[in-house]
Chain A
Amino acid sequence: MLNLLWLIPALPMAGFLILGLFGSRLSRQAIPILGAGSVGLSAAVSLWVAGSFFISPPAGYAYTQVLWRWLEAGSLHLPIALYLDPLSLIMMLVVTCVSFLIHVYSAGYMSDDEDMSRFFAYMNLFVASMVTLLLASNLALLLLGWEGVGLCSYLLIGFWYRDPVNGYAGRKAFIVTRVGDTSLLIGLFLLFRHLGTLDIQTLMERAAHQWPVGSPLAVAAGLLLLGGAVGKSAQLPLQTWLPDAMAGPTPTSALIHAATMVTAGVYLIARMHVIYQLAPSAQFAVAVAGAATLTLAGFSALTQADIKRALAYSTVSQIGYMFLALGVGAWSAAIFHFMTHAFFKALLFLGAGMIIESLDHEQNMFKMGGLRKELPVVFWTFLIAGCALAGVPLVTAGFYSKGLIVWQAEASSAGRWGFWLVAVFGVFLTAAYTFRIIFLTFFGEPKSHVHKRPGLAMTVPCVILAALSMVGGFVKTPEFLGNIHIFTGFLHHALPPVAATRAASMSEMGSEAWVTLALMAGFAVAYFCYIYRPEFSESLTRPAIGKALYRFWKSDWGMDWLYDRLFVWPVMWFARVDARDAVDSIYTGMARLCELFYHGARQTETGRLRWYAAAIALGAVIFVAVVLFL
């Protein structure tokens, strides 16, 4: 049944084509059925494929399906081929299923938007591109999916195109991620130049064969690929686009900017893990990027007033965890956190979307409050997701995935105490901002009137995701809690297990205990500031330093400010100043010179016959003189 694999990207693609070409002629009922249906079928096929993969795994736990020949020139042979192994299987499964739920939700959310067919067309194109990215057997095809999802992200952020702000956010996202893509492209060139192929599996084999550990080429390749990954996954220093990306419709934020696309960088690094094993310094850079991002974004999340921006910073921060896991060699932990994160973060955004819609497009959390009674379904699902995000022990999926990362940040052979500390501190920050959001929106006094309540199409996906956010973690539990490792065991066919644990490291249980403590501390801070003594949080920002710090964090540590001045403005300045093209003036200058000469010469053309005759006579005399005397 694995040969049905091609249907998984093809079905949403077909949906995109039909909606894109005939969208305006379809009835309003048909559009969501077609849009969500194509993704639903795709999810069904991927479940089917996954089932048969589990039951009868192909040889070597990998299956390749060559669709057609693509780029062939000289030594380059790139087919359009899909590659299925446990890593891409899990990613694909999560992506298609979460996508389907979000599509169903969108059918409710976008039901009265005039451009519904365009919305579903873009969303379908996104799913097709994302699946292509995941299943690509070579880096060029991966790039096709990679740029495809970037395009859809751009289109969907700017979906409500009449408002220039949305267009700006879309352009920013597209350009900033493409900054990363530039680095990725150069990395591809380097890999092809030195390893002679772009097929991922062959690359991995050859790299392991030809490059010694610590080889400068491997380090360069690792860093260049990391550049691409940080762009797509909104990690330091290219994280600035993601908060602005929240301008898009909320299902978009849930699907693209929380659950799936932004984790493409994680997938890329996991996919290319051999390179990083050969380049410990590049891998260390991955861990540092992750650790730095998770704290910085955590602080920023604490200061946001817009609920979607707060969640966006939280996404940045959680992907920081995944990068940290990759950086310490805990490959499967990163993928585990990707999966649980996809469930609860999608749910958080969907919940936020329902809140925003019921409050008539109000996004400011300080104008919400007391929604617990008004929107009970939203409250409970949001609470579950929030607990999973914070990592409430035992009952939530986030606990297992994040706990694994925190522990391995220290325990893995590439781990360090510093990473562990940062990770635990991150747990504290996560708990603080998560409960800040929950307290501000659902508790306290109601400040806005609820206009309408979400329908079934919107609540059912949320309930399913809430269930997944709770039970999704039971596929890999710590040693002292049942020691289940279906997930990691399955992934180890594609990704190596964590390198031998260091002797002096702390026990898993000890680490989990610290995590729980940090979580409780964070919860306590949030409770103290927003429920127990709300005036206290206001007093914090009153002194000058508090205010400055608040603004600094809120504006994402001033990165936008810096980039505007360093890169954006100079380019714009040059484009504006040189709009008339300075090079042209060289040629117009030459023309001007000719004209000047002409003005001089025309003075001799008086039109007077006798002057001409005199000139002839004089010329003749000079000519004769020259001939005679020289």
Chain B
Amino acid sequence: MATVPMMHALLVAGILFALGVTGLLVRRNILFILMSLEVMLNAAGLAFVAAGARWGQTDGQVVFIFILSMAAAEVAVGLALVIQIYHRFKSFDADRASEMKG
């Protein structure tokens, strides 16, 4: 069975993570920020799975399950917050919600 070299998997994970970060930083829309966050989480998850496969251990997959469930919880809370923010500011622009300025 031909296996994907770990280096490739890690490279993909890294690219995905970089894309996620870029999205997080450049998008103002809070929904897209959340999505970028998901991308970053999954990039991390991919790295775990790849590493688990490399060492023949199940730990990587266990952690991925953790990440999945955490991502689900995060989306639930995150979307609730997004709705609240939309109620308050009538906008999805994250920069509008800067009341915590020092």
Residues of A within 8 A of B (CB): 601-610, 613-614, 617
Q: Which stretch of B2-10, B20-28, B51-59 is in the interface?
A: B20-28
Task: Please determine whether B21 and A617 come into contact, CB atoms closer than 8 angstroms.
Answer: yes
- Residues of chain A within 8 A of B98, CB atoms compared: 606-608
- Residues of chain B within 8 A of A606, CB atoms compared: 98, 101-102
- Of A604, A605, A609, A614, chain B has the most CB atoms within 10 Å of the CB of A609
- Residues of chain A within 8 A of B28, CB atoms compared: 610
Task: Please determine whether B95 and A610 come into contact, CB atoms closer than 8 angstroms.
Answer: yes
Task: Please determine whether A609 and B25 come into contact, CB atoms closer than 8 angstroms.
Answer: no
Q: Contact mask B75-102 → A, CB, 8 Å, 1/0? A: 0000000000000000000110111111
Contact of A602 with B102 at beta-carbon distance under 8 Å, contacts A609-B33, A610-B33, A610-B95 already known: yes
Cα(A614)–Cα(B102), bound, Å: 17
Nearest-CB residue, chain A, relative to B96: A608
Contact of A607 with B101 at beta-carbon distance under 8 Å, contacts A613-B25, A614-B25 already known: yes
B42 → chain A closest CB, angstroms: 17
Cα(A601)–Cα(B102), bound, Å: 9
The 4 closest A-B pairs by CB, nearest first: A605-B102, A607-B98, A607-B101, A602-B102
A608 → chain B closest CB, angstroms: 5
Nearest-CB residue, chain A, relative to B36: A613
Task: Please determine whether A605 and B100 come into contact, CB atoms closer than 8 angstroms.
Answer: yes
Nearest-CB residue, chain A, relative to B18: A617
Cα(A610)–Cα(B100), bound, Å: 13
B19 → chain A closest CB, angstroms: 13
Nearest-CB residue, chain B, relative to A613: B24
A-B contact pairs, 25 of them (CB 8 A): A601-B102, A605-B100, A605-B101, A605-B102, A606-B98, A606-B101, A606-B102, A607-B97, A607-B98, A607-B99, A607-B102, A608-B94, A608-B95, A608-B98, A609-B33, A609-B94, A609-B95, A610-B24, A610-B33, A613-B21, A613-B24, A613-B25, A614-B25, A617-B21, A617-B25
Cα(A266)–Cα(B33), bound, Å: 98
| Given A607-B97, A607-B100, A608-B98, 14 further pairs, Cβ under 8 A | A601-B102, A603-B102, A604-B102, A605-B102, A606-B98, A608-B94, A608-B95, A609-B97, A610-B25, A610-B28, A610-B94, A613-B21, A613-B24, A614-B25
Cα(A140)–Cα(B87), bound, Å: 84
- Residues of chain A within 8 A of B33, CB atoms compared: 609-610
A513 → chain B closest CB, angstroms: 99
- Residues of chain B within 8 A of A604, CB atoms compared: 102
Cα(A550)–Cα(B14), bound, Å: 105
- Residues of chain B within 8 A of A610, CB atoms compared: 24-25, 28, 33, 94-95
- Residues of chain B within 8 A of A605, CB atoms compared: 100-102
B63 → chain A closest CB, angstroms: 19
- Residues of chain A within 8 A of B101, CB atoms compared: 605-607
- Residues of chain A within 8 A of B21, CB atoms compared: 613, 617
Cα(A604)–Cα(B100), bound, Å: 12
A613 → chain B closest CB, angstroms: 5
A431 → chain B closest CB, angstroms: 89
Cα(A607)–Cα(B102), bound, Å: 7
Nearest-CB residue, chain B, relative to A621: B21
A390 → chain B closest CB, angstroms: 89
A524 → chain B closest CB, angstroms: 94
Cα(A614)–Cα(B25), bound, Å: 6
Nearest-CB residue, chain B, relative to A603: B102
Cα(A13)–Cα(B24), bound, Å: 91
